[in-house]
Amino acid sequence: MITKINHVGIAVTSIDETLKVYTEVLGLKLKDIEVVVEQKVKTALIPVGESMIELIESTDPGSTIAKFITDRGEGLHHIALEVSSIDKTLAEMASKGVAMIDTKPRGGVEKSKVAFMHPKGTKRVLIELVES
């Protein structure tokens, strides 16, 4: 089911400003910047070994990320776990009674399929399930 940590999502007000820390200070390389219209965000993907850091900037003041930053400030937003089959994983979560934000997959970065587990059921950690 879970194959690896796909990425760690960090909510930021400015990808351009934050990216400097990861590229200029830490020497990491930017893989791609992508807008995910469905989620009202712009993302920057920074590979680190087999996983990535995903910087997430809101493209709409009413988006989930904008609300997160208003309520909590910039910082760690979620941990994304890669799964071999999002559909099978969602069925398994339903059979276990796990609280989910998404009961069906939605579009993510790099044409992935994603679904979020509700933080109330994961001890306040937002977990994203990702099928690449």
Q: Name the pTM for this structure.
A: 0.95
- Tens of pLDDT along 71-100? 999 999 999 999 999 999 999 999 999 999
* Helix/strand/coil (H/E/C) assignment for every residue in the chain: CEEEEEEEEEEECCHHHHHHHHHHHCCCCCCEEEEEHHHCEEEEEEEECCEEEEEEEECCCCCHHHHHHHHHCCEEEEEEEEECCHHHHHHHHHHCCCCECCCCCEECHHHCEEEEECHHHCCCCCEEEEEC
Q: What percent of the chain has pLDDT over 70?
A: 100
- Tens of pLDDT along 4-21? 999 999 999 999 999 999
Domains and CATH numbers, the chain: 2-131 (3.10.180.10)
